[in-house]
Structure 1
């Protein structure tokens, strides 16, 4: 198998960097790393890596600022953000800066390698905690926002309708909430069910719970 072009890891913990190299380094022809944001940006400008892995907390700047710079100068790069803590503010800032994925460092190796695989295939990958924070932040009015859930892209309005379906709202109630006609809501429901392969409401609820679109306590 031909290795991917190059990987850049920006993290001030060398033990973490070495762990990433052992885990996925053999998938890349070149491996670069930087211990702070400024050095990471310079390496990105020099090598234009295919994948960039950025820690949110860096000695000189935040991962958000690094992501914006790398995204601007290397638009083709796939960027994976990560952090030790499940912090809504940092996740949302990284999402807004343009990362293609986000994982928590406490997750197991399988979650991390899965995220890397998705990004290299051109897909986005956000761990469940990150996805929950992002979904809860999106409102139906932000319908230009797109979110990948289980390899399927949804608009903010579709996400909101899925959540309302799970709460067993009628088409009329959903229409009033998202400011659409009942007929349009029925079209949304039909399209959503087809795309996720759900034959009934139970199927929609199962999908939403499995992929973090809604939590059990919200039902």
Structure 2
């Protein structure tokens, strides 16, 4: 059986867990929690970067990061489920990359509080990452993905976007919705169409100003 190294709050791990269900692969993959902050965790031997998610294949090979794992799962499911064939594939890859980039910027904002003492934090750096998030959301608000009627309508880009918005809700609250009402409505429709999205939802957990350690 394959093993997915991840942690419950990780938005990158979340999209893999949802894809496992959507593609009918859940019974072939065991989810094993990882502690990215623990040097003794075997994760660092599985992925030299020590990052999640990482997928350990049955032959012992390891795949990372989430975009690569999604491609592999799509391949196992017969292909062209999350990544369309032909010219349309590149728009999906582009929008997946943008949604992943928003998640990266949001994570960096979390890390600024999680790993740095208050006197070392840089408000300008935090604002810089926040502007990336705002520009990315503004793009999707103007270039809305199709509203899924069921999980069969979801591609890699829309799956990644939903997990991005879910992560913003968890760590930063729902303030983004005021400027992105169409995206907010789209996310509600996505959750109704993809039961695994609700099943993987984590409770809101903003990082406090005095946070020192918190798992990704």
Q: If the TM-score is normalised by the length of the shorter chain, which range does it land in?
A: under 0.3
Greater radius of gyration (CA): 1
Q: Whose strand fraction is larger, Structure 1's or Structure 2's?
A: 1
Larger relative contact order (C-alpha < 8 A, sep ≥ 6)? 2
